[in-house]
Structure formats: C-alpha cells, structure tokens
Structure 1
Amino acid sequence: MIYKKFQDLQLSTLGMGAIRLPTIDGDDGKIDTSATEEIVAYAMEQGVNYYDTAWGYHNGNSELVMGAALKKYPRDKFYLATKFPGYDLANMPKVKEIFEKQLEKCQVDYFDFYLFHNVCEMNIDAYLDKEKYGIFSYLMEQKKNGRIKRLGFSAHGGYDVMKRFLDAYGEHMEFCQLQLNYVDWELQKCKEKVELVSSYNIPIWVMEPVRGGKLAKLAEGDEQRLRALRPDEKTVAWAFRFLQSLPQVTVTLSGMSNFQQLKENITTYAENKPLNDEEMKTILSIADGMLSGKLPCTACRYCTNHCPQGLDIPTLLELYNEHSFTGGGFIAPMALSALPENKRPSACIGCRSCEAVCPQQIKISEAMADFTAKLNG
C-alpha cells in the first residue's frame, strides 16, 4: 500500500468509501454486515487506514455498520471520516444534535476527519450564515475540544460557490474532497477547481474516481489504445493512475461494493505508477471522445444579452452537459434548486433570440426543452 504524509499522519492513498457497501436483495438500506466486515478486515490487513462514511449513506445505516465493523480494531489503527449533512437544508439547525448522534452511531469519541458535506449552490448561503445556524462555530468548537481532529469540506458545487466558501473559511479548512476523474477534468472544470483549492494550500481527497463505474470499461477502440501503452494495466486502473499523476491528491476514496473490487484496487495501489506525457494526452483524448456529444458552449455570453427571460444560458448548458453525460443524477437538479422557477430551463420560451447570436450555432432552445423533459423524467 502506498502512503502519503498529511500533517503528522501517514495516510493510505487508497481509502474505503462507505457509500456503496454490499447490500441484501439490492435494497440500499439493508447493508450486508457480514460481507462489509469481511471487506473491512481485508482492507485493514492490506494497509488501508482511511474510512469515509456519512449521515445519509445507505438510508442512514452506513455509519452504524462502519462503526460496528471498525470497533473490532484499535482506535489508533484507522482514521474515520464523516460529514455534517448540509445536502438537506432541514438539517441546518441540527448541527449539535446530528454530531452527537454520529459519535454514537460510529461508536467513537472523536472523528479523525469531519467535513461540511456537499458545498453547493443549494446550501452555500446557509453554510455561510454564521448567525442563523452557527455550523462553522460549532464544528470549530468540537475541533478545539478534540472531538474533531481535522476539519474539511466536500463539494459538488461550481467554481464560484467553492470560491465563496474558501474565501469565508479557507484558512480553517485542512482538506477538500472533490469529484475528480479524467472525464470530469473538463466536464466539471475540475482542473480549475484543483487549482483553486491548491491556491489555499489545501490538499485534495478524491471521490468518484471511476465516475460511478463508467470508467471501469471503455469502448473497445479506447481500450486498445490503452493496452498499446500499458499491456498489463487494467482499464479501471487507468482512472487511478490518472489521479496518482496529480501531486495535489492525497487520498482517493473508492466505494468498493464487493470483495473483487477491493482486491483489484488494493493491487493497483501497491505501487505508484503515474502517467507520462504521452499517456496523459491519450487518456484526456479518450475523455474528449466520451464527451463528443457535449454542447460546445464557450461561455462568451452573447446569448445572455439577448435572452428576454434573463436566463444564465452558459450555466444551464453546462448543467445540461453534465446531466446528459451522467444519464441523470443529482448534481444538475441540486444546482437548479437554488434558482427561482423563472430562471430554470423550463422558463425558456423558445424565441431563439439567443441562437441568432451564438458563435457555436448551438440550438439552445432545443437543449432547454430537452433538459426540461429530462428533469421531469
């Protein structure tokens, strides 16, 4: 197992994410506890020392199961992370109640790592409101009391949202967890996000390294290109090698839902094999190909000056691209929920004034109609 130094710790560069634990009969709320304990035991044996869970994973049962599984090991042999569930605005007034309950569920006296969960357009105002909810001050108090050892945040929001959060709290944040992989390097502007976080001297933790499994298997032509460069490297390993090539990354979390995935990932992380220049160009070229259906908006904003509805068309097209590539998901609906109804894709009246000035000749009105249909199921 490869390790990286973080402050006074040596962290396994592969961490176990507890968002996709093995389940019974496909029911996300029914975790297979024996299978999970077997996975944790093997991970511990092979040197994985970082475990990440959260309040809402597996309908609230992930913290319970991970707490019980890790209870079998000395407390100084693993690092446990969980998060304040700000993805649900109803939780904002309950930071103390939730934090105490999390300690109880995980059967620990402190968390090694604790995060503001999912900083995004929907919750940024609430997270930054120090008077109304006091989330930041409460978590800083728990850090002072030793019940949080290291404080950080995860983010699915856009660059501007992350900038607001970092401007307010960046000096107190010790790590940042990002959805990061070679497709999102462009699709979600992760390159710019990595540069932003690094400008605050904050190391990066990675979530969704294989994009929910999309990067575990590629088109045959793309896999052939990779095999020509590294004949013995599995396709899924390329996603991890990409991340090993980024010096800003400290820990990569993988939601390993079965024993085979765990074994393969541990084998990959037995050695550090970053990509060379040719390999990096190839993997990013493959990502470009996967995004070939992406609308080529350059955010010139000519369209916004001609929209009678005042829609932020470039942002809506960026969310449309993400939603289309993912085949749904929560990121676009989450971001749109922060907008008033009259600024969402459904507010487009199809006048095509924007299309008349679009240098890329994007059929924006059709994209807005399609986006609305996708969002409505």
Structure 2
Amino acid sequence: MIYKDFQDLKLSALGLGAMRLPVIDGNDSNINEEATKDMINYAMEKGINYYDTAWGYHGGQSEIMIGKALKNYPRNSFYLATKFPGYDLSNMPKVKDIFEEQLKKCQVEYFDFYLFHNVCEMNIEAYLDEKYEIFDYLWKQKENGRIKHLGFSAHGDLPTIKRFLKAYGDKMEFCQIQLNYLDYLFQDAKAKIDLLKEYNIPVWVMEPLRGGRLANLPEEYVNELALLRPKETIPAWAFRFLQSIDSVTMVLSGMSNFEQLKENIKTFEEEKPLRKKEWDQLLSISSQMLEKKTLPCTACHYCTSHCPKGLDIPSLLSLYNEHCFTEGGFIAPMALSALPDDKKPSACIGCQSCETVCPQQIKISKVMSDFTNKLG
C-alpha cells in the first residue's frame, strides 16, 4: 500500500468510502453486515487505514456499520472521517446534537477527520450564517481533541468554494472534491485544485471513477489505452490519473464488493503516474465522451445580453450538460434550488432572442424547456 504524508500522519493513499457498501436485496438501508466486515477486515490487513462515512449514507446506517466493523481494532490503527450533514438545511441548528450522536453511532470518542459536508450553492448562506454556530462548535471540538483535523467537502461551483474559503480557509486542513479525468475540466476541478493550492489545502478525492462510469469504457477507448499500457486495467487508469496530481493526498473509493476492493488495493500497491502522452490521451477520451452527450456552449455570454429575463444561460447550460451526462443525479437540482424562480430554466419565455447571437447555434429555448421537463 502506498502511503501519503499528511502533517505528522501516514495515510493510506486509498481510503475506503462507506457510501456504497454491499446491501441486501438492493435495499440501500439494509447493509450486508457480514460482507462489509469481511471487506473491512481485508482492507485493514492490506494496509488501508482511512475510512470515510457520513450521517446520511445508507439511510443513516453507514456510521453504525463502520462503528461495528472497526470496533475490534485498536483506535490508533485507523483514521475515521465523518461529516456534518449540511446538505439538509433542517440540520443547521442541530450541530451539537448531531455531532454527539455521530460519536455514539461510530462508537468512538473522537473523529480523526471531520468535514462540513457538501458546501454548495444551496447551503453556503447557512454555513456562513453565524447564528447556527456551526464553525464555532466544530472548532471548539477540535480544540477539545474530539476532532483532530477539520475540513470540508464541496460539490459547489468555484465562486461558492471561494466564499467558503474566504470565511474559513485559514482553518481548513483538507478539502474533498469530485475529481477524475472526466470532471477535471467538465466540473472545473482543475480550477478548484488551483484555488486550494493558494490556501495550501491538500485534496481529498471523491468519485474517482465517476460512480463507476470510468470503470467500464467503450471498446474503442479500451483499445487506445491498451496500446499505451497493455497490462493496466481500465479502473486503474482513473487512479493513475489522480496519482499524477501532486496535491492529491487521499483517494476515496466507494467499493461495493470484495472484487472491487481487491482490485483497487492491487492498483495502490505502487504509484505509477501518467506520462504526458498518457495524460493527454485520457483527457482526449474525456472530451470525446462529453461531446456525445453535452452541448458545445463556450460561455461566451453573447446570449445573456439578449435575454429579456436576465437568465444566466451559460450557467444553466452547464447544469443541463451535467444533468444529461449523469442521467439525473443531485448536482443540478441542488444548484438550481439556490436560484429564485425567475432565474430558473422554467423562467425562459421561448423568445429565441438568445439564439440569434449564439455562435454554436444551440437551440437554447428548446433546451430550457427540456431541462424544465427533466427536472419535473
């Protein structure tokens, strides 16, 4: 197992994410306890020492299961991470009660790593609102030793992350972002990495395989990559991409069965960063994948000056692309929930004024209608 330096710690470069544990009969809240314990026992044996869970994973059962599975190991033999569930605004006044309950669920007296969960457009105002005392309470727990390292995860856009960092950046020790060779440019992950570097904040990676999408590529891409590294598996290519980014310290993978766990551990037995030709090839494949399912908006903003409703059309098209490529998901609805109704796709009146100046000739009015329908 490769290990990465983080302050005075040695962290396994691969962490076990507990969002996609094995379940029974497809019921996400019914975790297969025996299979999960077998996986964690194997992970511990092979050197994984970082375990990431959260309040809402598996319908609230993930923290309980991780607590059970790690209970038999010395507390100093693993690092446990969980998060304050700010993705649900009703939790904002409950930081103390939730934190105390999390300690009980995980059967520990402290958390090695604790995160503000999912900083995004929907919750940034609440996270920054001093009346909830979220930062103050968590910082007090750090001073009391019940949180060893404080950080945050983010699915929000770059301006939202900048706001959070402006408020708390000097106190954040790590940041967890969605990063893979598809989202490096698609979700502007590269710019987020650069921003975090300005604050000397190391990167924790979530969704390294994009929910499994990058574990199985079309045959044409498999053949292209095989010419460069014949013995490398397709999932390993995604991990090698991350091993090529110097600010990446932790890669979290939500492994849902034993075979995935064994394969990923084998990949992380050695560090094999990409050569430039290999890096460029992966980004080329990413572009080709996106071109087949996304609109070619270049964010020139010609459209916005012609929109009588004042819609931020490039941002809406970006969210539409995300929603279409992911075939649903939570990111677009989450971001749109922060907008007033008169700035959402449904506010488009179909006048087509924007289309007269679009260099890419995108049928924007039809897209806005389709987006509205997709969102229900």
Once residues 162 and 19 of structure 1 are traced to their aligned partners in structure 2, the CA distance between those partners, rounded to angstroms, is 23
Residues in 2 aligned to 1:192 and 1:359: alpha-carbon distance in whole angstroms = 25
Give the alignment of 1:15-94 within 5 angstroms: 15-94=15-94
Partner amino acid, structure 2, of 1:102:
Q
- Equivalent AA in structure 2 for residue 133 of structure 1: Y
Looking at structure 2, the residues matched to 81 and 266 of structure 1 have their Cα atoms a distance apart, in angstroms, of 20
Q: Which residue of 1 aligns with 2:276?
A: 277
- CA positional deviation for 1:107: 0.3
- Paired residues in the alignment total 375
SS class of match (2:55) = coil
Q: Deviations over 1:228-248 (max 9, x none)?
A: 000000111100000000001
* TM-score (structure 2 length as normaliser): 0.99
Q: How do 1:209-358 residues align onto structure 2 when only pairs under 5 Å count?
A: 209-292=208-291, 293-358=293-358
SS at match of 1:215: helix
CA drift at 1:189: 0.7
The one-letter amino acid paired with 1:284 is L
Once the two structures are superposed, residues 62-86 of structure 1 have per-residue CA deviations (whole angstroms, 9 ceiling, x without a partner) of 0000001001100000000000000
Secondary structure of residue in 1 paired with 2:126? helix
1:361 aligns with 361
Partner of residue 166, structure 2: 167
Aligned to 2:121: 121
Aligned to 1:155: 154
Secondary structure in 2 aligned to 1:256?
Answer: coil
Q: SS in structure 1 opposite 2:15?
A: strand
Q: Deviations along 1:304-357, whole A, 9 cap, x unmatched?
A: 111111111111011001011000000000000001111111111110011111
1:262 CA drift (Å): 0.1
Gaps of at least 5 residues in structure 2 are none
C-alpha displacement of 1:105: 0.3
SS of equivalent residue, structure 2 residue 362 = coil
SS at match of 1:212: coil
1:373 Cα deviation (Å)?
Answer: 1.4
Deviation at 1:114, TM superposition (A): 0.1
- Given the two structures, how large is their TM-score scaled by the length of structure 1? 0.99
Encode CA deviations 1:203-225: one digit per residue, 9 max, x unaligned.
00000000000000111010000
- Does the residue aligned with 1:152 lie in a helix, a strand or coil? strand
Large movers: runs of 4+ above 2 Å: none
CA–CA distance in structure 1, aligned partners of residues 295 and 163 of structure 2: 27
1:5 is matched with 5
Whole-angstrom CA distance in 2 between matches of 1:213 and 1:117: 22
